[in-house]
Amino acid sequence: MSERVFNFYAGPATLPLPVLEQAQRELLNFRGTGMSVLEISHRSKDFEEVIFGAEKLVKELFGIGDDFKVLFLQGGASTQFSMVPMNFLLEGSTADYILTGSWSEKALKEAQKVGPTHIAASTKEGNYKRIPEQKEIMLSENPAYVHITSNNTIYGTGWQEFPDTGNIPIVADMSSDMMSRPFDVSKFGVIYAGAQKNLGPAGVTLVIVRKDFLEKAQPPAPTMLRYSTHAEKDSLYNTPPAFSIYILNLVLKWLKDQGGLTGMEKINREKAAYIYNMIDQSDGFYKGHADKDSRSLMNITFTMGNADLEKAFAQEATAQGFIGLKGHRSVGGLRASVYNAMPVEGCAALADFMKEFMRKNG
């Protein structure tokens, strides 16, 4: 490949080209410091501008104020699976989980190691092809929080509207659709996302915690696994993943240039429509895994009911510069991950490729 391809990998995933170009320009001499951002102290003024700038941009993009704390942590979304119950599964309460895919199952499994849990709803039956309806959700008597996975990376489903949990805070794993659209953040106690899908490179996890919820946290957890440790030190308790935060900062600025979350949603809907329309108009040649009313805007999963044909699709696509379309083994078939940074042209070109592949093989 001599040119950049259209990268449909599920994560780590494509990044905005202007961000990569700026990082390249600045790599050897970061903003006149004579050093690379890879080399400067995380206690320096130059780096503080990067990390506090990123915090400010997160708040601005979400339209949240000082009732929330923005944290940049390590250990990926997977560490949050443990940190959430270790901090918030309080004595005498239960942690409620809504299961919509493999990542929610993993989150539940970690909570079970910490204390009592309850499955408030699950769509495992039918291989997670849909999001539960409000009336299917049965909370426990005294939930400390209700955990959801906003977008199911593997199955290609996503919550269209977040559930009504009354006054119980929602804790959400938004790893694969963070900042893809605006929503009412006030219902959430904690939002977390590994950056490597929709926000930046691997190595940093963006966490947003509501301060009144944080105050309830009980701190038997080890120092590094307490939210309060990181909140009190503005994510500088120990050395943060400085380069990842720097790239995240650039991605956030890029997001702002796209018209913020409202602008981004509009673009994301346009992108996903190219591929979903192709599936819907293929007369069953392509079969979407997700129910129509549960479709993800970020991960589009489909099969062809024929493993050889699916293999040929992936191979031909790769040869034409569409990379990473092989589906996850739990669903099989194909998956196009079209995160924020995937340009509209990538989705339009993939839809054209699908049309041509169907013409030749249908």
Catalytically active residues are 103, 173, 197
Q: Which of 50, 77, 171, 275 binds ligand PLP (CB under 6 A)?
A: 77
User: Following DSSP, what letter does each residue of 93-129 receive, concatenated?
Assistant: -EEEEEE-SHHHHHHHHHHHTTS-EEEEEE-TTTTS-
103 touches ligand PLP (CB under 6 A): yes
Least separation in angstroms between residue 105's CB and ligand PLP is 11
Cα–Cα dist 325/336, whole Å: 5
Cβ atoms of residues 209 and 189 within 8 Å: yes
Amino acid at 252: L
337 touches ligand PLP (CB under 6 A): no
173 touches ligand PLP (CB under 6 A): yes
Cite the beta strand spans of 100-256 per DSSP E: 117-122, 143-149, 151-152, 157-158, 170-173, 188-194, 205-210
11 touches ligand PLP (CB under 6 A): yes
Nearer to ligand PLP, 187 or 197 (CB): 197
Q: Which of 7, 123, 149, 282 binds ligand PLP (CB under 6 A)?
A: 149
100 touches ligand PLP (CB under 6 A): no
Cα separations (Å) of 313 from 115, 303, 317, 328? 46, 10, 6, 15
Number of residues that bind ligand PLP (CB under 6 A): 12
Output DSSP code: residue 173.
Answer: E
Nearer to ligand PLP, 156 or 194 (CB): 194
Question: 243: how many CB neighbours lie within 10 A of its CB?
Answer: 19
Nearer to ligand PLP, 96 or 282 (CB): 96
Letters for 24-63 (x = contact with ligand PLP by CB under 6 A, - = none) are: ----------------------------------------
Cβ atoms of residues 250 and 23 within 8 Å: yes
Nearer to ligand PLP, 188 or 357 (CB): 188
Q: Which of 33, 74, 78, 140 binds ligand PLP (CB under 6 A)?
A: 78
Cβ atoms of residues 111 and 90 within 8 Å: no
Nearer to ligand PLP, 96 or 285 (CB): 96
Q: Which residues contribute to the site for ligand PLP (CB under 6 A)?
A: 11, 76-78, 103, 149, 153, 173, 175-176, 194, 197
